[in-house]
């Protein structure tokens, strides 16, 4: 009968899932990078360069956590024998990487919000300018109609 708490198998399953997530995120980032327009502003190019760096670092961190979960499973801590000193170190590093992933995700969220806010402002300003041009054109047309009407 199998053990109820089979930590190595659970850790291997977790690591496999994390590797698949890292692979999916890597492929998504690659497709997104290929689909970008080439004629962007300097500010947009800088934003996307930083975004690529952040997201690549995040993918690397997820893959690192997956590797360390497997290492942590190999260094299984059991009370029947002397515990490995590396076991708590590996899991503390995993927790630190998880906190780093969270901070990186929050930084990426803030950067994406700033990017969206900047573009929303630009769209609003372009709309206002277009409305003003249209109103000016209609005023001028109405003024020209008044001049040409001899009555």
pLDDT in tens, 101-145: 999 999 999 999 999 999 999 999 999 999 999 999 988 877 776
Q: Of 130, 140, 68, which is closest to residue 97 (Cα–Cα)?
A: 68
pLDDT tens string 4-39: 567 778 888 999 999 999 999 999 999 999 998 887
- Model pTM? 0.74
Residue 12 and residue 49: Cα distance in Å, rounded?
A: 34
| Two structure tokens written together for 83 | 């515990």
Q: What are the sequence ranges of the domains in the chain?
A: 7-148
Rounded to 5 degrees, φ, ψ at 5 are -115, 85
Residue 77 and residue 15: Cα distance in Å, rounded?
A: 18
């Amino acid at each position: 009968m199998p053990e109820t708490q089979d930590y190595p198998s659970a850790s291997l399953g977790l690591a496999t899932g994390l590797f698949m997530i890292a692979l999916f995120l890597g492929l998504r980032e690659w497709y997104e990078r290929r689909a970008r327009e080439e004629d962007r502003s300097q500010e947009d190019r800088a934003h996307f360069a930083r975004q690529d760096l952040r997201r690549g670092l995040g993918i690397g961190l997820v893959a690192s956590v997956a590797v360390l979960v497997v290492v942590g499973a190999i260094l299984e801590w059991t009370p029947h024998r002397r515990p490995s000193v590396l076991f708590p170190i590996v899991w503390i590093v995993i927790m630190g990487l998880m906190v780093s992933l969270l901070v990186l995700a929050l930084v990426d969220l803030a950067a994406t919000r700033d990017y969206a806010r900047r573009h929303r402002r630009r769209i609003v300003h372009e709309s206002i300018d277009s409305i003003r041009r249209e109103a000016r054109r209609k005023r001028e047309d109405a003024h020209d109609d008044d001049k040409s009407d001899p009555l």
